[in-house]
Amino acid sequence: MNRLHRFFSSFLLVTAKLAGRLPIGILYFKAGFLRLIAENVLHYRYQVIIQNLSRSFPEKNYKEIRALAHGFYKHFFEIFAEVIKSQGLKPGNAKARFHIENPELINDLHSRGINVIAMAGHRGNWEWVIMMPLTFGFNIYTLYKPLSSRIMENLMGRIRARFGMKLLSMQQAGRFILSKKDYPALYIFVGDQSPSHKDPDYSFDFLNQPSLLFTGGAKLAKATDSAVVYLSIDKIRRGYYSASFRIIAEPSENKTDREILSTYARMLEEDIRRQPAFWLWSHKRWKHRAKNS
């Protein structure tokens, strides 16, 4: 990164930190204004959102689908406000806003020397997993897809490292985890969006549609004798989330990677159906299909 890029990235980070000191109500108000423009003027990804919701919930009528779409827009732009606010939160307040219900499950695995791969979805405020290092006494890594803008890439990296979260790009994650340079640790995979592969062996029934899933987390777990857990993030109310873990597979169970992914898909769908407006419906989730679909 050259000096100019670094300057703009630092300027934006300082701006975010200053904005993060504002009352969260003001940030929500600003986010609400942006939501109005995106939803009612620009119609940001409206057709994608409506199509995804309609296919996932065929039992709902158009009025119900539109209500869910509105709920999604509202939640999506609140996440922007909450990402900014995270830069102004003190650790105690951050832990209260992103509460982990059962950290003992992860602590027990770690105490037994077992590495953990957590599989999450774009539910609740997935960006606030950056607060998890406040709860645990060992390293936590989250995987991310590098952004095309080097300025934004650097900015988001510094924002996400606010509370000690360590970042691994998708390109470097496999090599790093296989090397066991930091073992045991906790690695978070948010792998519910559209992968590039079209392998029919990894196509699952998910939200009433044949759906391909990223396979990296499950395959790395098998290769490194790691436990796999599902990370659920529920929205309690605006600005407050509850995270919890459920075991998908321990190394001794010797489950296949396909069994791991099937369980992950089922648990994620159950969560989405409980709080349908809080998943990332604007993504083209089903743009890739298995070769035989």
Supply angle C-alpha 131, 270, 104, rounded to 5.
40
- pLDDT value of position 13: 84
pLDDT band with cut points at 50, 70 and 90 for residue 278: very high
Asked whether residue 146 carries a pLDDT value surpassing 90, the answer given is no
Task: Give the residue-averaged pLDDT of 149-175.
Answer: 91
Backbone dihedral angles phi then psi of residue 52, each to the nearest 5 degrees: -60, -45
- pLDDT value of position 118: 99
pLDDT band with cut points at 50, 70 and 90 for residue 293: low
Task: Give the residue-averaged pLDDT of 141-154.
Answer: 87
Least confident interval from 9-18, 48-57, 63-72: 9-18
The encoded tokens of residue 283 equal 């993504």
Least confident interval from 8-17, 41-50, 238-247: 8-17
Per-residue buried b or exposed e for 204-224, using 16+ beta carbons within 10 Å of the residue's own CB = bebbeeebbbbbbbbebbbeb
- pLDDT value of position 1: 59
Q: Percent of the chain at pLDDT above 90?
A: 84
When the pLDDT of each residue in the chain is averaged and rounded to a whole number, the result is 95
Question: Which range marks the domain in which residue 232 is found?
Answer: 3-278
Q: What is the dihedral of CA 81, 87, 92, 95, to 10 degrees?
A: 50
Task: Give the residue-averaged pLDDT of 161-188.
Answer: 95
Short-list 33, 105, 102, CA closest to 74: 33
Let me know if residue 289 belongs to a domain.
Answer: no
Task: Give the residue-averaged pLDDT of 170-185.
Answer: 94
Q: What is the dihedral of CA 187, 246, 220, 253, to 10 degrees?
A: 140
In this prediction the pTM is: 0.94
Let me know if residue 18 belongs to a domain.
Answer: yes
- Do the Cβ atoms of 134 and 94 come closer than 8 Å? yes
- Do the Cβ atoms of 285 and 211 come closer than 8 Å? yes
- pLDDT value of position 8: 78
Let me know if residue 125 belongs to a domain.
Answer: yes
Task: Give the residue-averaged pLDDT of 44-72.
Answer: 98
* Top-confidence residue, 240 or 144: 240
pLDDT band with cut points at 50, 70 and 90 for residue 67: very high
Let me know if residue 187 belongs to a domain.
Answer: yes
Backbone dihedral angles phi then psi of residue 118, each to the nearest 5 degrees: -100, 125
Let me know if residue 191 belongs to a domain.
Answer: yes
Least confident interval from 8-17, 36-45, 157-166, 277-286: 8-17
Q: What is the H or E stretch that residue 175 is in?
A: helix 170-179
> How many separate domains does the chain show?
1
Let me know if residue 118 belongs to a domain.
Answer: yes
pLDDT band with cut points at 50, 70 and 90 for residue 292: low
